[in-house]
């Protein structure tokens, strides 16, 4: 990676990673306050609710990734008007879709809670948490979309600041509502929802003030929605995969290890959020660069960016796996009550589960990479292979042949298989369409 390319890489990825770390911080803050100031059962209820929150982000990604990809492509070509029209179309369509989706969840909330797999001990808690969180659902989606578009418009630091402000708001309100006013799960949901409104408002003001090239215009291209959605499908499936994986582990653990197993997995999944969002931050940070360079047909720079990103992701994966192995006990203690009988079990589970971190970054990046080039079908194929195909298949083999604590290896095997297939797809696309010799 050349000096110029390296500077651009870190200029975009570092703010993106920091933004995602802040997102992880206030996500983990909810878990910390609920686990330590409510109880471990309520903590597991928050985790059971996670598939709904990931579905908000999945819908956001469905129309955001394609909008980012195409807007970046047109900005790279110098066609600012087309980029503005796509930006406006994507935002309006997402707002309407988000409103309809959250309304449907609200009206069928009891059925949704049952579908999530909540048992008799957690049903009321899950319902309480989602009841307050659902009205804010559309803001999860619009915040994500405007943050990604601010990056492609050349404002990665401002995008990171919007996430920072939301995180700070959520952290402060968590303390106020849960610790000071003893509002429990209801307070946790309210704090998270208000934080999303704060971020949405800040980003909306940014675009309304027309600080960059992208801003709202009167003309929209609703005929392009299908193409935008097809590009974003891969990232959307990846996000849904998080919720599906949580659901799959929760229901399987309930059968094999009981409610204690669900609590242990809740601890592990909350710690793993930090790994997931770091890899997502790298992928989202560098995605605008791939879109713009693809629009310019600068394949040499794409090659340099690609190999630099893969090296960075490799370093991160190794660091997270080694870190989890060395500091498993103090890490799980963050989300367990002092002297919890589950500490040793959770620490052992984390060390085994952390092997999946070696492959997570590759899969997250490959999906975003293909989407940034407009290769929505390939991105969707990798996402679908990752979840539900491989993780479900490996989980079925676990239940048939092994059982017990071998469940903590399931995700590592599934992620490794996906990386192998994704690497084959990457080699093919680089040779067929991005060959410097043929197109440079």
Best-predicted range by mean pLDDT (61-75, 127-141, 222-236): 127-141
Is the pLDDT at 439 greater than 60? The verdict is no
Task: Give the model's confidence band at 373: pLDDT under 50 very low, under 70 low, under 90 confident, else very high.
Answer: confident
What does the block give as tokens for 359?
Answer: 């492959």
pLDDT computed for residue 66 by the predictor: 85
The mean per-residue pLDDT over the stretch 291-312 comes to 88
pLDDT computed for residue 104 by the predictor: 96
How many angstroms separate the CA atoms of 88 and 227, rounded?
Answer: 15
Helix (H, G, I), strand (E, B) or coil at 203: helix
Best-predicted range by mean pLDDT (28-32, 115-119, 305-309): 305-309
pLDDT computed for residue 437 by the predictor: 59
pLDDT computed for residue 311 by the predictor: 95
pLDDT computed for residue 2 by the predictor: 65
pLDDT computed for residue 1 by the predictor: 61
pLDDT computed for residue 26 by the predictor: 66
The overall average pLDDT reported for the chain is 89
How many angstroms separate the CA atoms of 249 and 409, rounded?
Answer: 12
Helix (H, G, I), strand (E, B) or coil at 209: coil
pLDDT computed for residue 20 by the predictor: 80
Percentage of residues in the chain with pLDDT exceeding 90? 49
In sequence order, the 6+-apart residues with CB closer than 8 A to the CB of 336 are 35, 40, 267, 342, 343, 346
pLDDT computed for residue 73 by the predictor: 86
pLDDT computed for residue 362 by the predictor: 96
pLDDT in tens, 138-157: 999 999 899 889 988 888 88
How many angstroms separate the CA atoms of 45 and 93, rounded?
Answer: 32
Structural contact between residues 187 and 171, judged by C-beta atoms closer than 8 angstroms: no
The overall longest dimension of the chain from CA atoms, in Å, is 65
| Helix/strand/coil percent split, the chain, to 5 | 85, 0, 15
Task: Give the model's confidence band at 50: pLDDT under 50 very low, under 70 low, under 90 confident, else very high.
Answer: confident
**Residue 354, CA distances (Å) to 176, 239, 325 in order:** 33, 19, 7
Give phi and psi for 434, each to the nearest 5.
Answer: -120, 25
**Angle value at C-alpha 71, between 67 and 76, nearest 5 degrees:** 150
C-alpha distance across the termini of the chain, in Å: 17
Percentage of residues in the chain with pLDDT exceeding 70? 98
Compute the chain's Rg from CA coordinates. 21
pTM of the full predicted structure? 0.78
Structural contact between residues 145 and 90, judged by C-beta atoms closer than 8 angstroms: yes
One-character DSSP codes across 214-256: ----S---GGGHHHHHHHHHHHHHHHHHHHHHHHHHHHHHHHH
How many angstroms separate the CA atoms of 423 and 359, rounded?
Answer: 11
In sequence order, the 6+-apart residues with CB closer than 8 A to the CB of 121 are 41, 259
How many angstroms separate the CA atoms of 226 and 232, rounded?
Answer: 10
Is the pLDDT at 440 greater than 50? The verdict is no
Is the pLDDT at 94 greater than 80? The verdict is yes
The mean per-residue pLDDT over the stretch 356-384 comes to 91
What does the block give as tokens for 419?
Answer: 């990386």
How many angstroms separate the CA atoms of 372 and 380, rounded?
Answer: 12
How many angstroms separate the CA atoms of 213 and 145, rounded?
Answer: 16
Is the pLDDT at 271 greater than 50? The verdict is yes
The mean per-residue pLDDT over the stretch 257-278 comes to 90
Q: Mean pLDDT lowest for which of 128-137, 204-213, 335-344, 379-388?
A: 335-344
The mean per-residue pLDDT over the stretch 213-235 comes to 84
What does the block give as tokens for 223?
Answer: 């005929």
Q: Identify which has the larger pLDDT, 119 or 73.
A: 73
Is the pLDDT at 321 greater than 60? The verdict is yes
């Amino acid at each position: 990676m050349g000096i110029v390319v390296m500077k651009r890489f870190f200029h975009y990825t570092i703010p993106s990673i920091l933004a995602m770390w802040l997102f992880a911080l206030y996500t983990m803050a909810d878990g910390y306050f609920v686990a330590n100031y409510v109880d471990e059962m309520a903590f597991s209820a928050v985790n059971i609710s996670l598939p709904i929150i990931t579905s908000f982000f999945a819908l956001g990604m469905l129309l955001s990734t394609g909008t980012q990809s195409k807007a970046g492509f047109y900005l790279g070509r110098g066609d600012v008007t087309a980029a503005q029209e796509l930006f406006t179309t994507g935002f309006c369509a997402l707002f309407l879709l988000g409103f309809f989706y959250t309304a449907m969840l609200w009206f069928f909330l009891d059925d949704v809670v049952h579908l999530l797999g909540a048992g008799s001990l957690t049903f009321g808690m899950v319902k309480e948490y989602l009841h307050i969180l659902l009205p804010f659902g559309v803001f999860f989606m619009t915040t994500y979309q405007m943050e990604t578009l601010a990056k492609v418009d050349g404002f990665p630091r401002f995008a990171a600041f919007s996430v920072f402000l939301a995180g700070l708001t959520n952290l402060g309100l968590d303390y106020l509502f849960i610790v000071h006013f003893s509002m429990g799960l209801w307070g946790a949901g309210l704090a998270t929802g208000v934080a999303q409104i704060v971020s949405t408002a800040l980003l909306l003001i940014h675009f309304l003030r027309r600080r960059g090239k992208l801003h709202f215009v009167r003309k929209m291209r609703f005929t392009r929605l299908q193409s935008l959605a097809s590009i974003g499908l891969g990232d959307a499936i990846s996000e849904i995969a998080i919720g599906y994986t949580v659901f799959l582990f929760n229901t399987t653990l309930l059968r094999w290890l009981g409610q204690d197993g669900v609590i242990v997995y809740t601890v592990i999944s909350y710690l793993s959020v930090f790994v997931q969002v770091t890899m997502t931050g790298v992928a989202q940070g560098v995605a605008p660069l791939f879109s713009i360079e693809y629009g310019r047909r600068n394949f040499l720079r794409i090659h340099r960016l690609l190999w630099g990103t893969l090296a960075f992701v490799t370093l991160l994966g190794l660091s997270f796996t080694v870190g989890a192995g060395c500091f498993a006990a103090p890490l799980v203690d963050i989300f367990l009550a002092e002297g919890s009988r589950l500490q040793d079990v959770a620490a052992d589970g984390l060390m085994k589960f952390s092997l999946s971190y070696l492959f997570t970054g590759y899969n997250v990046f490959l999906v975003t990479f293909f989407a940034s080039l407009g290769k929505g079908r390939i991105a969707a194929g990798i996402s679908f292979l990752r979840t539900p195909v491989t993780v479900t298949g490996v989980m079925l083999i676990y239940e048939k042949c092994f059982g017990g604590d071998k469940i903590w290896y399931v995700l590592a095997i599934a992620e490794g298989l996906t990386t192998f297939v994704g690497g084959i797809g990457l080699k093919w696309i680089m040779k067929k369409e991005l060959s410097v010799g043929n197109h440079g």
